């Protein structure tokens, strides 16, 4: 899903080729339309060749679907059927099957989705006409003789009508079976239904001729060995959890419709002003499709993967910029998280009026949003925002991995999907810019970079609730779901990456990816991988310094399961005379001797030579305990950096023979979780020399950066 974080969009070109692709020929030459690349042939296989696709475990294939849908563009309705074949791969025995009926979330004001959303999604409200959507089930039948089979290839010889009932909330229903289904058995169920699309809201629906047909069929829940059936009620922040399988869909649409769908098109039959399109997909957990007679096609490819964009004619000039981002994303994710297994990717650009269908992910297909209409000469010379549509494309591409490939339980652990996806997006942005602190916004010569931008996004309401909680626990009236789940998870993970080391952290993510592709990982699986790969107790002190250890699991527990905030401040800098040997002392006979006055009396610090010491007091103002680097600049210009474990609230450090000029906490901005950094730097007031210019310019730059962030560009 598109992140609901103001201004979290960040893509920056890294070389002349990428800049040319981002601008497109129209940005350079001022033409009105971009030249469309040659169309690429439809792939012949839904999966890439085995040598390119990586591990695709056959035992992860659990639920197959054969779908049929006929679109009525006048009623905005799909008459459909679903043949669902499910294999019980668990050790459980069950006597019922739960199905999601997601469109029923839009059926009435008293559904859980409507209650939680109050008719709004991403600031888009329901329409007065066509407000309601629903799935109406006509029949459910069991196909089998005997009742269940152990080989899905066996042909059923009878059908049995099955009883079914909607649950307390109509977004799920329960189908009763005539006898329990044990481990290793296979069930095939046939359902007839009508899917009524609403006016576009929350990723699905219609607007004019455009139809986003998503979550349109009855979708089986997931049976888990520990917890049994998982089929959650559909609410505002919940998304989708399903098993992998193979899909075949036959779509009947008006002949003039241009269609994009999950998988590859394997057949097309045209007759009587309509056409039937057959699509097939392998090892996916959903099937969505979009149709609009106004779509223009734009093609590209990456290592044999066909990239097909369906875009409105007035935005065709932007297609090359979206393609450039997509190609760079393929490169980044392939290198970081392993191969993309499928042979095609379809990118849908919803038309004006259907913006709420934008920014949503489905296997091998996603919807994006259009770029802010800024003239290219302005992007080149005044304002380069690179944030509107291009980051949406990057974000939704990332979901091909963080949801499409891993299929975690997003309804229970949204941070593991949306949060980790956003983390991966920022890593991809770094890869594209070849910079670990890429520029996000440029206004003339002023830039806002990641190290400032991300902490700002978690300020305010980013710490109201723990990260590790179900999606439905975040309330719309608070409005902190995006800030907490998307931005804070990213800050947690990128902070750990900075502290633990980039290479070590990236290796850990690759290990996680290789181990959990197609496996429904839990948050605990990612945590265990990070602890195992980084080390349970990690020395984070500079080379040669006394060890300072980070307990990785303790860090994750604080970050995920508490609302503690990272906050440090320089409390004081004191430069003073170093105590000497003057005064009264007893000699060997016990007689007091001496009485000389203190050596530093009537002397300035700079007259004492080495008989001085600088003392610094640092306070952990936040409850979150994480080591922090302390950089000290001395009066002679030399510098020293140490690491404080901050197990105590106050840290006191002294340097005999040195006077301290400046202290900077976290000088390399490793701790992206710390959003209030205004007190992380201090000067000794007696030693600071104000040139009258540096501080006003710094304040102006800071104010400008915050103003740009506030604009949500």
- The pLDDT value recorded for residue 163 is 97
State residue 129's pLDDT score: 73
Average pLDDT over residues 338-364: 95
pLDDT mean over 215-244: 95
**Distance between CA 341 and CA 406 in Å, rounded?**
12
Using CA atoms, how far apart are residues 292 and 211, in angstroms rounded to an integer?
A: 6
Residue 489 vs residues 265, 328, 360, 413, 423: alpha-carbon distances, Å: 37, 23, 19, 11, 7
For residue 314, is pLDDT > 80?
yes
* pLDDT band, very low/low/confident/very high, at 120 (cuts 50, 70, 90): low
Rounded CA-CA distance 473/486 in Å is 15
- Mean pLDDT of the region 608-631: 94
Q: What is the pLDDT of residues 315-335, one digit of tens each?
A: 999 999 999 999 999 999 999
Instruction: Answer whether residue 27 shows pLDDT above 50.
Output: no
Average pLDDT over residues 49-69: 95
Kind and range of the H or E element at 137?
strand 134-143
The per-residue pLDDT for range 620-640, each reduced to its tens digit, is: 999 999 999 999 999 999 999
> Are 449 and 9 contacting, i.e. CB atoms less than 8 angstroms apart?
no
Q: What is the pLDDT of residue 1?
A: 62
Cα–Cα nearest to 99, from 162, 167, 40, 199: 167
pLDDT value, residue 202 = 81
For 656-694, the pLDDT digits (tens) are 999 999 999 999 999 999 999 999 999 987 755 555 555
First to last CA, the chain: 19
pLDDT score of 261: 98
Q: Please tell me the predicted confidence (pLDDT) of residue 495.
A: 98
**Confidence at residue 382, expressed as pLDDT on a 0 to 100 scale:** 80
Residue 189 has pLDDT above 60, yes or no: yes
Q: What domains are defined for the chain?
A: 1-55+295-563 (1.10.390.10), 62-243 (2.60.40), 568-711 (2.60.40)
The count of C-alpha atoms lying within 13 angstroms of the C-alpha of 626, restricted to the half-sphere facing its C-beta, is 27
**Strand (E) positions, 255-316?**
258-261, 264-271, 274-284, 289-292, 296-302, 305-311
pLDDT tens, 467-478? 999 999 998 888
- Residue whose C-alpha is closest to residue 347's, from 401, 307, 317: 307
Nearest to 390 by CA among 326, 295, 485: 326
pLDDT at 5: 39
Out of 129-133, 234-238, 280-284, 360-364, which region has the weakest mean confidence (pLDDT)? 129-133
Pick the residue with more confidence: 33 or 364?
364
What is the arithmetic mean of pLDDT over 191-197? 98
In the chain, % of residues over pLDDT 70: 87
Cβ atoms of 104 and 193 within 8 Å: the answer is no
pLDDT at position 712: 38
Question: What mean pLDDT is reported for the chain?
Answer: 88
pLDDT bracket for residue 16 (50, 70, 90): very low
| pLDDT tens digits for range 519-577 | 999 999 999 999 999 999 999 998 888 899 999 999 999 999 999 999 999 999 999 98
Query: In sequence order, what are the beta bridge partners of 665?
Result: 630
Q: Determine the pLDDT at residue 709.
A: 41
What pLDDT shows up at residue 696?
58
14 — pLDDT class (breaks 50, 70, 90): very low
The confidence score (pLDDT) of residue 319 equals 95
Following DSSP, what letter does each residue of 592-629 receive, concatenated? EEE-PPPTTTT--GGGSTTSEEEEEEEEE-SS----EE
Give the pLDDT confidence of 274-313 residue by residue, as tens digits: 999 999 999 999 999 999 999 999 999 999 999 999 999 9
469-489 burial: b if 16+ Cβ within 10 Å, else e: bbbbebebeeebbbbbbbbbb
Q: Band of the pLDDT at 13, cuts 50, 70, 90?
A: very low
pLDDT tens per residue, range 430-481: 999 999 998 877 788 788 888 888 998 898 788 999 999 999 999 888 889 9
> In this model, does residue 118 exceed pLDDT 50?
yes
DSSP state at residue 326: H
Contact between 659 and 575 under an 8 Å Cβ cutoff? The reply is: yes
How confident is the model at residue 604, as a pLDDT?
76
């Amino acid at each position: 899903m598109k992140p609901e974080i103001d201004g979290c969009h960040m893509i920056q070109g890294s070389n002349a080729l990428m800049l040319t692709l981002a601008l497109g020929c129209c940005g350079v030459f001022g033409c009105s339309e971009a030249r469309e690349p040659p169309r690429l042939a439809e792939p012949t296989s839904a999966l890439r060749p085995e040598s390119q696709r990586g591990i695709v475990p056959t035992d992860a294939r659990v639920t197959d679907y054969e779908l049929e849908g006929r679109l009525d563009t006048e009623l905005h309705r799909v008459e459909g059927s679903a043949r669902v074949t499910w294999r019980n791969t668990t050790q459980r025995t069950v006597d019922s099957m739960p199905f999601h009926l997601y469109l029923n979330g839009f059926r009435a004001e008293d559904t859980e989705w409507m209650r939680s959303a109050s008719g709004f999604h991403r600031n888009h409200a329901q329409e007065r006409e066509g407000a309601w959507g629903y799935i109406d089930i006509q029949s459910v039948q069991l196909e089998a003789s005997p009742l269940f089979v152990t080989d899905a290839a066996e042909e059923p010889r009878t059908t049995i009508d099955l009883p079914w009932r909607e649950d307390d909330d109509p977004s799920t229903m329960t189908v009763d079976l005539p006898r329990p289904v044990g481990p290793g058995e296979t069930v095939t169920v046939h359902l007839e239904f009508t899917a009524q699309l609403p006016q576009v809201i929350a990723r699905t629906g219609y607007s004019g001729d455009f139809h986003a047909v998503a979550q349109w069929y009855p979708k089986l829940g997931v049976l888990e060995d520990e917890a049994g059936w998982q089929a959650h009620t559909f609410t505002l922040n919940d998304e989708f959890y399903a098993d992998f399988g193979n899909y075949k869909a036959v779509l009947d649409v008006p002949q003039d419709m241009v269609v994009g769908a999950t998988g590859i098109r394997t057949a097309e039959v045209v007759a009587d002003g309509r056409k039937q399109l057959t699509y097939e997909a392998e090892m996916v957990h959903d099937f969505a499709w979009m149709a609009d007679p106004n779509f223009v096609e734009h093609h590209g490819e990456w290592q044999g993967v066909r990239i097909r964009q369906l875009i409105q004619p007035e935005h065709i000039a932007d297609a090359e910029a979206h393609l450039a981002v997509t190609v760079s994303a393929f490169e980044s994710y392939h290198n970081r998280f392993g191969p993309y297994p499928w042979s095609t990717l379809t990118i849908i650009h919803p038309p004006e009026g259907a913006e709420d269908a934008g920014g949503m992910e489905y296997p091998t297909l996603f919807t994006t949003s259009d770029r802010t209409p800024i003239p290219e000469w302005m992007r080149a010379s005044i304002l380069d925002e690179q944030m509107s549509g291009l980051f949406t494309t990057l974000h939704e591409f990332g979901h091909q991995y963080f949801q499409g490939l891993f299929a975690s339980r997003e309804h229970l652990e949204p941070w593991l999907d949306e949060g980790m996806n956003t983390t991966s997006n920022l890593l991809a942005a770094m890869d594209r810019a070849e910079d670990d602190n890429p520029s996000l916004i440029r206004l003339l010569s002023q830039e806002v970079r990641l190290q400032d931008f991300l902490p700002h996004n978690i300020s305010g309401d980013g710490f109201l609730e723990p990260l590790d909680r179900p999606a439905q626990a975040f309330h719309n009236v608070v409005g902190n779901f995006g800030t907490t789940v998307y931005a804070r998870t990213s800050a947690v993970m990128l902070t750990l990456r900075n502290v633990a080391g980039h290479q070590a952290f990236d290796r850990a993510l690759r290990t996680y990816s290789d181990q959990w592709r197609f496996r429904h990982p839990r948050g605990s699986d990612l945590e265990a991988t990070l602890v195992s790969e980084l080390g349970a107790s990690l020395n984070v002190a500079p080379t040669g310094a006394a060890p300072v250890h980070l307990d990785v699991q303790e860090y994750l527990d604080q970050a995920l399961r508490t609302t503690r905030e990272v906050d440090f401040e320089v409390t004081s800098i004191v430069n003073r005379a170093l105590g000497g040997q003057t005064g009264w002392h007893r000699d060997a006979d016990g007689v007091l001797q001496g009485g000389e006055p203190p050596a530093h009396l009537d002397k300035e610090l700079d007259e004492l030579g080495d008989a001085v010491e600088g003392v610094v007091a640092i306070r952990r103002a936040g409850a979150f305990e994480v080591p922090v680097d302390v950089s000290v600049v001395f009066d002679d210009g030399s510098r020293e950096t140490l690491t404080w474990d901050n197990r105590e609230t106050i840290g006191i450090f002294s340097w005999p023979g040195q006077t301290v000029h400046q202290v900077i906490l976290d000088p390399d901005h490793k701790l992206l979780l710390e959003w209030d950094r205004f007190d992380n730097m201090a000067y000794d007031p007696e030693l600071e020399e104000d040139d009258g210019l540096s501080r006003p310019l710094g304040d102006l730059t800071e104010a400008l950066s915050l103003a740009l962030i506030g604009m949500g560009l």
